[in-house]
Amino acid sequence: MTVNWYLIVSAMIFTLGAAGVLIRRNPLVILLCLELMLNAGNLALIGFSRMWGNGAGEIFAIVVMVIAACEVAIGLGIIVALYRRRLPVDVDQLKELHG
């Protein structure tokens, strides 16, 4: 399989993730769609790494995974805090960051 195929699959996954972020309203599902986009990026990175036969792309992918984990921790923390304060868990109704 040529590297092109992997990149096309990565582009498709990225597109699906972007569409999900735009369509869905539940912040939990939006976070899941962000994961999709990050993973699409990871697939492209690994594909390029394979293309050059060089481990740098894999290191990059691992760092992306770390960043995704941080994003999940903070994002879910915010959602739990919203739930605690009895705010609606719906991005259309959450129009203000402040208080």
Partner 1 sequence: MTFLFFFIFAIIALAGAAGVVVLRNPFYCVLSLVVHLIALALLFLLLEAQFVAVAQIVVYAGAVMVLYVFVVAYVGGGDKPDQLWSAGTRQKALAVCFAVAIFVELAIALLGTALSALGTDGAKLSATYGTPAEIGKLLLTNYLLAFELASMLLLVAAIGAVALAGRRGGIAEDEGNLSPRHGLVHTPSPAATGSMAEGVSGYGVTTPLPDPQFEGRELQQPARVTAEDDR
Q: How many CA atoms are closer than 13 Å to the CA of 76, on its beta-carbon side?
A: 7
In whole angstroms, how close is the CB of 96 to partner 1 at the nearest point?
17
Q: Give the residue, chosen from 41, 63, 94, 98, that forms a contact with partner 1 under the rule CB under 8 A.
A: 63
Nearer to partner 1, 84 or 98 (CB): 84
Output the smallest distance, CB 39 to partner 1, in A.
Answer: 6
In this structure, what are the phi and psi dihedrals at residue 57, rounded to the nearest 5 degrees? -60, -35
Decide: is 33 part of the binding site for partner 1 (CB under 8 A). Answer: yes
The interface with partner 1 within residues 69-88 (CB under 8 A) comprises: 69-74, 76-81, 83-84, 86, 88
* One residue of 41, 89, 95, 97 binding partner 1 per CB under 8 A: 89
